[in-house]
Structure 1
């Protein structure tokens, strides 16, 4: 009789423990899904205005991420020694600015400091070195040799080799720069958040 009672309660205990574990697993799943849902919201990139309903800010999206690791993960490598990525050979990020100086040569800029260049009308693209993870919004060139890119936090990048490599230029502002235009090989303007307006008379230096 005692053994029967023990077996009865042991069986119930096992069932209760099983149900509790399932509930805990379900809770973990729900929390993970909620976090995934929050991160899967579309990003509102233009800062300084009220966040649109259903959107997440760029800063919130990357708040718990290592930016350098994200850049390493999303930017393709040249070769692994075993496999070589053929297409696409560009970072898998969102691009915001694109500019062509003629029918063949152009650049595009975007998330995590991405700059890519084409010399055949967009059929093929190569990655330009920027050494930054700051979001870039605009890119422009007047003569195809000097290339300027601008973006978040007053970031201005300048290239003197046709957009192959870029160096950071002090802009004097931390406001996001949304517009960029070189009028000739020396004169250009950048504009952005909080009525920011910048002018260069020495080709972006």
Structure 2
């Protein structure tokens, strides 16, 4: 049997947080435990929300750090790994994670409620697959010699079997990223090609079937751009683009052999893609064309942030932090403990918040300034 190395799952191994096989539903029903050590547990994503830094991580942990440095842990209704978050303003935000969970906050991250989970995703997938079979059976009966329809019907039968197996297995589809255009419309992406869309703030979700991904490669990152287009990046270096808000998608483009983990739009409009093996690509035309950027390290890259002065920070494997004044020339700084870094964000008083396997670390800007060219 051929073994397939899947970098998205390798990242979870790195954190020591692969999904548990036993009692997955319990984690969806059990609130996250409040603990004074939450800031030392693995953290996966962060965002500045007003004057607070909001961070998510393992065991349903959501941490808030205010401008004065006070840390507090939010009440969260699930006890499982959260992988990403996105706030559209100082009030409304969403977080996603294992077991297909989607959480929503309407108070800047102070409190959260569950909107959707893997159980609901399983039913959604089965309903969609059964509707596809019914539609294609009718079309195939009207055109029995159409080989394309026959092949599509075979794929739909497989999708039904797969969806039924997924329902029986329980909530087993990790979600890996989330992005909202406003307080109503947003997308989540995840393992095995999962992509969902909402137009009512997450009250209901629809499966997006128009993205061509027959191998069901993991979708790791989603980002909307100023021109209204939508980008989705993931396993195998694939990039998918929609110019009509996700209604239709261009054929997926393999930009690199390395899996891609993060999309970021800079203040000057450039878009960056980063990922496995030190992959970094830049686009100056809103994702239409891409150019690789050479780096002084081949460490896997997981997170990125641009500071107010325009300098860029990339966080990655082995405690790697790459620093650049312009997004083109980089130097490397490495954390002494070499623990994986998954994200970085600026703080007041010339400090940086760095998160990863060992939780939250605070660094002075002076540590990095000597690395700038």
- Within the candidate set 51, 57, 61, 2:18 is matched to 51
In the TM superposition, residue 43 of structure 1 has moved relative to its aligned partner by: 4.3
Determine the structure 2 residue equivalent to 1:174. Answer: 338
Give the structure with the larger strand fraction: 2
TM norm structure 1: 0.56
1:155, CA displacement in angstroms? 0.8
**2:257 paired residue number:** 92
> Residues 4-26 of structure 1, C-alpha deviation per residue, up to 9 Å, x if partnerless?
xxxxxxxxxxxxxxxxxxxxxxx
| Other-structure match for 1:191 | 355
Counterparts in 2 of 1:27-38, with a 5 A limit?
A: 34=1, 36=2, 38=3
Provide the C-alpha distance between the structure 1 equivalents of 2:349 and 2:310, rounded to a whole number of angstroms: 9
Q: 2:4 aligns with which of 39, 42, 50?
A: 39
Q: Distance in 1 between matches of 2:351 and 2:332?
A: 18
Q: CA deviation at 1:153?
A: 1.1
1:125 aligns with 2:290: yes
Q: 1:194 to 1:100 in 2, by over 3 A?
A: same
Cα pair distance change 1:42/1:158, threshold 3 Å:
closer
Q: What is the alpha-carbon distance in structure 1 between the residues aligned to residue 367 and residue 346 of structure 2?
A: 8
The structure where helix makes up a greater share of residues is 1
Aligned equivalent of 1:61: none
**Pair member with larger Rg:** 1
Per the alignment, residue 142 of structure 1 pairs with: 307
- In structure 2, the CA distance between the partners of 1:102 and 1:168, relative to structure 1 (3 Å rule), is same
Q: Which residue of 2 aligns with 1:156?
A: 321
CA deviations 1:30-87 (Å, max 9, x no partner) are xxxx1x2x22567411223243469xxxxxxxxxxxxxxxxxxx99xxxxxxxxxxx9
In structure 2, do the counterparts of structure 1 residues 119 and 186 end up closer, same or farther at CA, with 3 Å as the change threshold? Answer: farther
- For structure 2, list consecutive stretches of 5 or more residues without a partner in the other structure: 22-171, 173-235, 238-251
Is the partner of 2:318 in helix, strand or coil?
A: helix
Residue among 275, 280, 299 paired with 1:110: 275
Structure 1: runs of 5 or more not aligned? 1-33, 55-73, 76-86
Conserved in 2, the CA contact under 8 Å of 1:104 and 1:122?
no
Three-state SS of the structure 1 residue aligned to 2:286 is coil
Q: Which residue of 2 aligns with 1:78?
A: none
- Which ranges of 4 or more aligned residues in structure 1 deviate by more than 4 Å? 40-43, 183-186
Normalising by structure 2, we get a TM-score of 0.33
User: Given that residues 189 and 200 in structure 1 are in contact (C-alpha distance below 8 angstroms), is that contact kept between their aligned partners in structure 2?
Assistant: no
- The 1-side partners of 2:306 and 2:278 are apart by 17
Aligned length: 139
Q: CA deviation at 1:167?
A: 1.5
Quickly say closer, same or farther: Cα 1:92–1:188, change in 2 above 3 A. Answer: same
Instruction: Give the C-alpha shift of residue 136 in structure 1.
Output: 0.5
Structure 1 residue 195, shift from structure 2 partner: 2.5
